[in-house]
Amino acid sequence: SSIPKIVILGAGYGGVMTALRLQKQLNYNEADVTLVNKHDYHYITTHLHMPAAGTDSPENARVSISKLIDEFKIDFVKSTVVQIRPQDRKVILEDGTLSYDYLVIGVGGEPETFGIPGLKEYALNIRSINSVRLIREHIEYQFAKYKREPHRTDYLTFIVGGAGFTGIEFVGELADRIPQLCREFDVDPQLVKLINIEAAPTALPGFDPELVEYAMDVLRKKGVTFRIGTPIKECKPDGVIVGEGEEIKAQTVIWTGGIRGNRLIEEAGFETMRGRVKVDEYLRAPGHDNVYVVGDNSLVFNEEGRPYPPTAQIAMQQGVAVAHNLVASIRNQALKKFEYKHKGTVASLGKGEAIGIAFGKKYKGWTAAQLKKLIDLRYLFIIGGIPLVLRKGKFF
Ligand code: FAD
């Protein structure tokens, strides 16, 4: 019989971990492994709020895939997946076709706009290296334009939709960046507005209320205005409509209010909830024993029947589990059930400030910020060892 073909779609947290583990665990000629990704680099999504605000270079948030994987063991294909055909065991790429015996889908999520008119057209999203470069340039450009049209203060109003972890981390960075931009462009800081709008009755819904209050205090002191319990009703080219019809004029809207699964998955005919596949206990798509789904495209439920939020943390653990189960399948061994181990959550609030819960304890301020750095360095170490830590790590 021929060697089984494993195809991994997406080199995000889930896909990269699957590939790295397979590379380590498979013996020579046990399987053909192909990793497909849109870009020839992996991006560290959990850092993207920094280059988006301009407080760090986008280079520090990406790693070339050839530096991560051993190309003698794994074929890397730089291409975009356009269709998944589970009934034919094929994947259609923009420039070719791949057939597989086992498939791992890890192409990451897409912004969820909840059908709010205009968000898709006019809001920016923090999703990739390309999207954060656009945000960073766009923000600078608004300062430059304001200098030519000083009556247009809407150039200096920055709206962030969503006060979940991504929204909060981004406003923390942008609040740090604004004073620099004001100096660079000779703009009075009083004229700049940074508004974080959230529909839920609190920022960071579901998180520890004491830490949420601490976070909001820190951010308010840096100049952030919160509009909590205020749904965005519409996004327009020149601002947003909120609540009962109030209009806020702004030339910049950044939407961080939600993530859904990738449309490729619905189009492939998998059963989905908000674009995500409710995977079985081994992380397979129901009815497809040879298709695994990881990361933002999968839905895993806890004992109380509630879905875990999509995070890098769960995606990485899923990658490890999927690699194990792929190797077991190939060797005709028993599969292992996936069990998520939540290690904690830490959110940065800009330079030197963060909040978090880890090891059953609450952290805030400088200590939490150090913890965040450790988590980031640990990730670099896991995927790329000491060399990557030294090249991309942020120690200060
Ligand atoms: P992703 O990391 O989304 O990667 C998907 C990959 O697939 C990308 O490389 C993409 O280029 C590729 N791809 C997409 N479409 C195609 C296609 N059609 N063809 C080929 N390739 C394709 N989580 C945490 O646990 N902790 C945090 O502190 C944290 N902070 C965050 C901060 C920010 C600013 C953001 C935006 C997210 C944060 N998250 C955090 C969430 C976390 O980043 C995601 O849950 C995680 O990235 C999901 O990983 P994934 O494996 O599903 O795929």
81 lines ligand 1 (CB under 6 A): yes
Ligand 1 pocket test, pick from 8, 13, 293 with the greatest ligand atom count within 8 Å of Cβ, gives 13
169 carries an active-site annotation: yes
pLDDT, one tens digit per residue, over 161-208 is: 999 999 999 999 999 999 999 999 999 999 999 999 999 999 999 899
Banded model confidence at residue 359, pLDDT cuts 50, 70, 90: confident
Which residue's alpha carbon is nearest to atom 4 within ligand 1?
12
Q: Which amino acid is at 220?
A: R
The pTM assigned to this predicted structure is 0.96
CA of 295 to the centre of ligand 1 (A): 8
List every span in the chain annotated with CATH 3.50.50.100: 5-38+79-111+260-342
Ligand 1 pocket test, pick from 68, 77, 107, 276 with the greatest ligand atom count within 8 Å of Cβ, gives 107
pLDDT of residue 395: 80
Banded model confidence at residue 1, pLDDT cuts 50, 70, 90: low
**β-pair partners for 42:** 63
pLDDT, one tens digit per residue, over 249-308 is: 999 999 999 999 999 999 999 999 989 999 999 999 999 999 999 999 999 999 899 999
298 lines ligand 1 (CB under 6 A): no
Percent of the chain with pLDDT over 70: 100
What does the alpha-carbon distance between residue 357 and residue 371 come to, in Å, rounded to a whole number?
A: 10
List every span in the chain annotated with CATH 3.50.50.60: 119-257
CATH 3.50.50.100 fits 5-38+79-111+260-342, yes or no: yes
Phi, psi angle pair for 243, to nearest 5°: 50, -120
Q: What is the mean pLDDT of residues 138-142?
A: 98
80 lines ligand 1 (CB under 6 A): yes
Banded model confidence at residue 2, pLDDT cuts 50, 70, 90: confident
What does the alpha-carbon distance between residue 9 and residue 12 come to, in Å, rounded to a whole number?
A: 9
pLDDT of residue 319: 98
pLDDT, one tens digit per residue, over 4-59 is: 999 999 999 999 999 999 999 999 889 999 999 999 999 999 999 999 999 999 99
CATH number for 119-257: choose from 3.50.50.60, 2.120.10.30, 3.40.50.300, 3.50.30.10. 3.50.50.60
48 lines ligand 1 (CB under 6 A): yes
49 lines ligand 1 (CB under 6 A): yes
E-assigned strand segments in 41-192: 41-43, 62-64, 74-78, 81-85, 90-93, 96-99, 102-105, 110-111, 157-161
Question: How many CA atoms lie within 13 Å of 146's alpha carbon, on the beta-carbon side?
Answer: 25
Size (the chain), residues? 396
> Which residue in 94, 140, 169, 339 is the catalytic one?
169
CA of 29 to the centre of ligand 1 (A): 31
Ligand 1 pocket test, pick from 46, 129, 254, 373 with the greatest ligand atom count within 8 Å of Cβ, gives 46
CA of 289 to the centre of ligand 1 (A): 25
**β-pair partners for 6:** 33, 102
What does the alpha-carbon distance between residue 240 and residue 9 come to, in Å, rounded to a whole number?
A: 36
CA angle 49, 51, 54 (to 5 degrees): 110
Task: Count CB atoms within 10 A of the CB of residue 104.
Answer: 29
Atom of ligand 1 nearest to the CA of 43: 9
Interface confidence: ipTM more than 0.90: yes
Ligand 1 pocket test, pick from 56, 94, 311, 316 with the greatest ligand atom count within 8 Å of Cβ, gives 311
CA of 130 to the centre of ligand 1 (A): 13
261 lines ligand 1 (CB under 6 A): no
pLDDT, one tens digit per residue, over 200-221 is: 999 999 899 999 999 999 999 9
Least confident of 63-67, 110-114, 392-396: 392-396
68 lines ligand 1 (CB under 6 A): no
The mean pLDDT of the chain is 96
Atom of ligand 1 nearest to the CA of 296: 52
